[in-house]
Amino acid sequence: MSLQEPYNDSLALGATALGALAALLAVVDVLAQEDTGLPVEDAVVTFAPAVPPPITRDHPVRLRLLMEATVVDLPIDATHTYECWTFGGHVPGPFIRAREGDILDVCFTNRDTSGMPHNIDFHAVTGPGGGTSLLTAESLETKNASFRLLTPGLFIYHCAVEPVGVHIANGMYGMMLVEPKAGLAPVDREFYVLQSEFYTNHASSSTSKLEFDFIAALDERPTHVVFNGRGGALTGPDTLKANVGDDVRIFFGNIGPSLSSAFHVIGTTFDRVYREADLISVPARHIQTTAVPPGGATVVEFKLRVPGNYTLVDHAILRVEKGAVGFINAEGEPLSPDIYSSDEPAVVCAGCKIHP
Ligand SMILES: [Cu+2]
């Protein structure tokens, strides 16, 4: 089942005709609406670096969300793959956009056929385990649960089946934005960037497929520190694109599982930092680097004033060598010629990983 397919898996299994299924789902919709008085919507989800469009409604809804656990071989750098445990077949998992006061109706199916159970701990959910006790699904099992989203902010979600760190290290995480009731100020570009680590047998492996190294994980010695699931995810043809003059917003999270991030964009300061993804308080201004702990997030905004490449890094800068580097390219004319100028031509160091 893809994220676009019908919501209630148990109904889907019980109905043989599409018409009957549609009728049943309509009944479910009506019952849900009668139950809470809220209209029902399907959550719009996207995969990194894309972000769903801003929410324009001024009322809460029942927001239906399909989530799946799958196991997929994915690249984690230019030359290696890794058997990732995923939400939705991607690392990181989908970006979910909701509104304060919505009821999130989650339908979670575990399609991992290895026999491993999985679940979801939504940091946005209030209650024991962030939903895990209601959403722990055995292989090929589907679980449904509903959660009122009481607090706005940008929140991590992750699998929390024991050992939690292994499920996270293997790729089971993503983010959910709960917009404040008043919404967010409009910007020109929004991006989804999530930092994480992989702990692999890179040093001893002679194959292109790397495997999990539990000792390295216990010692907190990652072989890979990456944005959006792999080294190079935001480089080359996958560089983020923008125009000079754009106001850019980055929804940035760090799932670790162990390292804190010193998130920095080389070539600019953050005009606004919603520290620890607090979207209610007045944001901090003109920040160079912001700390994001494992299991935390931030929202940063900045205007691109000069054309060229801006570099996303964890300013624990040797992690660039482990993959933690990405780019935003701004095209256009400078907003003012005196911001960045010289009579000499621009020169970059050969082979530089952070100033291409
Ligand atoms: Cu899991």
Residue-level pLDDT, tens digit, the chain, 356 residues: 333 333 343 333 344 444 444 555 554 454 454 456 899 999 999 999 999 999 999 999 999 999 999 999 999 999 999 999 999 999 999 999 999 999 999 999 999 999 999 999 999 999 999 999 999 999 999 999 999 999 999 999 999 999 999 999 999 999 999 999 999 999 999 999 999 999 999 988 889 999 999 999 999 999 999 999 999 999 999 999 999 999 999 999 999 999 999 999 999 999 999 999 999 999 999 999 999 999 999 999 999 999 999 999 999 999 999 999 999 999 999 999 999 999 999 888 888 889 87
Give residue 166 CA to ligand 1 midpoint distance, Å: 8
Give residue 5 CA to ligand 1 midpoint distance, Å: 22
Taking Cα atoms as reference points, which of 26, 61, 133 lies closest to residue 11? 26
How many residues does the structure list for the chain? 356
> How many other C-beta atoms are found inside a 10 Å radius of the C-beta of residue 266?
16
151, with CB counted inside 10 A (0-12, 13-18, 19+), is: middle
Q: How far is CA 310 from CA 7, 122, 183, 265, 302, in A?
A: 40, 32, 28, 6, 11
Give residue 172 CA to ligand 1 midpoint distance, Å: 6
DSSP 318: G
pLDDT score recorded for residue 36: 65
Return d(Cα 344, Cα 260) in angstroms, integer. Answer: 39
Give residue 171 CA to ligand 1 midpoint distance, Å: 9
Taking Cα atoms as reference points, which of 168, 28, 154 lies closest to residue 86? 168
> How many other C-beta atoms are found inside a 10 Å radius of the C-beta of residue 183?
16
- The CATH number given to 189-331 is 2.60.40.420
Return d(Cα 66, Cα 12) in angstroms, integer. Answer: 13
19, with CB counted inside 10 A (0-12, 13-18, 19+), is: exposed
**Could you state, in order of their start, the residue ranges of all structural domains in the chain?**
9-179, 189-331
Return d(Cα 104, Cα 157) in angstroms, integer. Answer: 13
pLDDT score recorded for residue 34: 46
Give residue 169 CA to ligand 1 midpoint distance, Å: 10
State pTM to two decimals: 0.90
User: What would the 3-class secondary structure string for 10-51 be?
Assistant: HHHHHCCCHHHHHHHHHHHHHHHHHHHCCCEEECCEECCCCC
Give residue 273 CA to ligand 1 midpoint distance, Å: 32
Give residue 117 CA to ligand 1 midpoint distance, Å: 6
pLDDT score recorded for residue 208: 96
Give residue 114 CA to ligand 1 midpoint distance, Å: 11
pLDDT score recorded for residue 7: 37
- The CATH class that applies to domain 9-179 reads mainly beta
Return d(Cα 306, Cα 153) in angstroms, integer. Answer: 30
- E strands within 173-260? 173-179, 189-198, 209-210, 224-227, 240-243, 247-256
Give residue 86 CA to ligand 1 midpoint distance, Å: 8
Q: How far is CA 113 from CA 70, 118, 151, 198, in A?
A: 8, 11, 35, 22
Give residue 280 CA to ligand 1 midpoint distance, Å: 32
- E strands within 223-354? 224-227, 240-243, 247-256, 261-266, 270-274, 284-287, 289-292, 296-303, 308-314, 325-331
Give residue 338 CA to ligand 1 midpoint distance, Å: 52
pLDDT score recorded for residue 268: 98
Domains 9-179 and 189-331 share a fold: yes
Q: Is the peptide bond before 94 cis (omega within 30 degrees of 0)?
A: no
In the sheet that 308-314 helps form, which strands lie side by side, from edge to edge? 240-243, 325-331, 308-314, 261-266, 289-292
pLDDT score recorded for residue 37: 85
pLDDT score recorded for residue 6: 37
